[in-house]
Each structure stands twice: as C-alpha cells, then as structure tokens.
Amino acid sequence: MGTSKQSLQKLSAIIEQHSANKTDMPFRNMFATACYLSVIGEHQAARKQVKSLFDWLGWDNRKTYFSAILESLSEFAPKYASEIAANQEINKIFFKVETPGSSVSEPTNSV
C-alpha cells in the first residue's frame, strides 16, 4: 500500500489531554480494539470505531494527522495496537491472532 506508518506519540498525548484523572485507558483500549477489528478483516467496523474516537478527541482540529492514521490503519494495525499502550488483556488478543492454529473466528458481515 502507499500509506506510511504514523507515530502514535501525538495520539497518546491527545488522549491524555482529553482524559481527566487518568481516565485514558478506555480511549487506548478503544483504539487497540479497532486495530484488532482491522486485523481480523472487519475494516468497516474498525474505521467506524476509530472515527468515533477521533470525533471525541477533536477530529476537526487534527484532520491531517487523524486521517493519516485512519488511512494506514489496515496496514499497520498490529504495530499501532502495540504502541498505544492498551490494557494487557486487549494486547493479548493480538498474540492469539499471530499464533498459528489460534481460534480466532472468521470475519462476519453482520454488525
């Protein structure tokens, strides 16, 4: 693909800025879960979840950066998920996907 990987340091800072009293983990988990959805082939659901997160974080003020992440999500989802520092339980699902013979189900078309 013709996309380039984005640094998520800025996204982490934006999440922290919008999270009072150390409440950033739900945002990090939401982003990592969207990455997982992308990895298993649920690209539309992944994009929708990321767009919702970016709307909350101020899409209008960061269109270029957020668009670059969104456009490169399917290509770099595992790397993005590892960089965003989500809960360990969320990160473990990527190990299951990467492990041969894992029991990850096929993508579904229903929402």
107 assigned to some structural domain: no
Task: Give the pLDDT mean for 46-69.
Answer: 94
Interhelix angle for 63-83 vs 9-17, to 10°?
Answer: 100
List b or e across 25-58, with b for residues whose CB sees 16 or more CB atoms inside 10 angstroms.
eebbbbbbbbbbbbbbebeebbbebbeebbeebe
pTM of the model: 0.78
88 within a domain of the structure (yes/no): yes
Domain of 46?
A: 9-98
In a domain, 43, yes or no: yes
Question: Is residue 108 in a domain?
Answer: no
pLDDT at 41 over 50: yes
Is residue 111 assigned to a domain?
no
pLDDT score at 107 = 43
Structural domain contains residue 93? yes
Q: Is residue 105 part of a domain?
A: no
Q: Would you say residue 2 lies in a domain?
A: no
User: What does DSSP assign to residue 41?
Assistant: T
CA distance 110 to 95: 25
Q: How many structural domains are present in the chain?
A: 1
